[in-house]
Structures are given as C-alpha cells and as structure tokens.
Amino acid sequence: MKLTGMAEALNEQLQTPSTNDLNFEQRLGLLVEREKDLRMTRLLQTRLRQARLHFTQACVEDINYDAKRQLDKKQIAELATGNWLRQKQNLIFTGATGTGKSWIACAIAHKACMLGYRVQYWRVSRLLEELNLAAADGRYLTLIKSLAKIDLLVLDDWGMVKIKGQQQQHMLDILDDRYQKRSTLITSQLPISKWYEQVIDETFADAILDRLLGQALVMSISGPSMRTQKEGGNKKKD
C-alpha cells in the first residue's frame, strides 16, 4: 500500500515503551501524521528537482539584508507568503552583476515550491536556444504547452542577448500564454528602461514588454558585488 511513513512510525512505536500510555486514536493519529509529512517531503523534493534552480540551496531565510543592498525585509516577507503568485503577478529583480539577483530569485522560487507551486528555472539565452531546437525538430508546441502549465517561470539574465528573428514570436507565445494566468520572475542587469531596445522589432517589443510589465512588481537590488565579498573571505549569505 506504500504507507512507508506509517510503517516507520509503527516500528518506532513498538520500540518505544512510552507509547503504550497512548490510546488507539492517539497512536493512529501519530501514524497518519508521519505518513502525511513523508508524502509532503517527497512532493517538495519532486518539485525542487523539476524546478532545476541554479542555486539549489537558496532560501529566503538566508537572504542577506546588509544595508547597502537596500532590500526591504517586509517586502521579501510578503513575497514569501505567495500572495503575488495567487494574484498571477510577475516579479522583476534588476541590479548590477554580482548583487545577488539570481540567488534571491532562486530563494523566492524555492519558497514557491514549498507552497506547492510548480516552478521552472531557465537562463534566457538557453531557453531561446531550446526554443530554436524545438521549432526545428517538431517539439515546439509541446514545449510551449508545458511552459504554459508552470505556475512560476523564472527567466534569469533577461537582456543579456538580444531577442531577434523567430525568437521574438517564441518569447511572445510563452508570455502571452502566461499573461494574467501564471507568474513569471525576471532577473536583469539592465534597468527596465533599456529592455525595449533588446527586442529587435518594435512591434514585438511592445507586445512582449506589455505582457511582462502589465502586472509586475519591481525590485532594484544595489550594493557591492556579493561575489567580490565571497572571494575576499566574507562568509555572509546572499
């Protein structure tokens, strides 16, 4: 029956004399609780594995709130509740290289997994390559449909490569399917004012940015490079 958690808990009860003081309902309740906890743990492990987060150990509890980063602790705490996901909003982190945008994005994505959401992480350049391959070998519609079902799509390093040619339609297809239905998390070294020029065709640029920014929360992360601090022996977390 695959009741592994209950079996483990029952074995522990048989080896613990103090459980004899509990009545049947109490002992059964402990068995059911163990089974529930084990199944929830397995589901979380599955969601995290499928998310393929770049920083697998990132979590909101370890975010570094050094004053120079100008991070709003209350705002991060609010994001951790998942309200923005329930409202189908997008989330955007901007800031210079090394300031920890990707790490914080993965921490927020990790929390989303804990809340029961399906998450998937992509570096934008690799996603564009995968879309090109999928269009060439007939997997395009399957890939697009699978991305549309993801509750939180993390697109890391937006703007590092220009979106051009057929890639513009590919990106519009993804974002159009998600608009007001699912949330997208973007990280970018570029300020939003520079995003427009990263999409070659103006018509596509208007459509893509409209779907990204229409219902977006924007946070700018500042401060010194976290990479430089680590290389210098600073052990602070991101």
Instruction: Indicate the domain borders of the chain.
Output: 4-49, 52-231
Percent of the chain with pLDDT over 70: 79
Whether the per-residue pLDDT at 227 is higher than 60: the answer is no
Of the candidates 58, 130, 117, the residue with the CA atom closest to the CA atom of residue 93 = 58
> CA-CA distance, 160 to 189, in Å (whole number)?
8
Quote the mean pLDDT of the chain.
86
Whole-prediction pTM: 0.80
Q: DSSP string of the chain?
A: ---HHHHHHHHHHHT-GGGGGS-HHHHHHHHHHHHHHHHHHHHHHHHHHHHT-SSTT--GGG----GGG---HHHHHHHHTTHHHHTT-EEEEE--TTSSHHHHHHHHHHHHHHTT--EEEEEHHHHHHHHHHHHHHT-HHHHHHHHHT-SEEEEESTTSS-B-THHHHHHHHHHHHHTTTSEEEEEESS-GGGTGGGBSSHHHHHHHHHHHHTTEEEEE--SS-HHHHHHTT-----
pLDDT band at 236 (very low <50, low <70, confident <90, very high): very low
The answer to whether residues 152 and 119 touch, using CB atoms and an 8 Å cutoff, is: yes
Strand-by-strand arrangement of the 152-156 sheet = 119-123, 152-156, 183-188, 90-94, 216-220
pLDDT tens-digit map of 55-73: 999 999 999 888 777 788 9
| pLDDT at residue 196, rounded to an integer | 95
CATH of 52-231, one of 3.30.565.10, 3.30.70.2190, 3.30.70.270, 3.40.50.300: 3.40.50.300
More confident residue, 33 or 10: 33
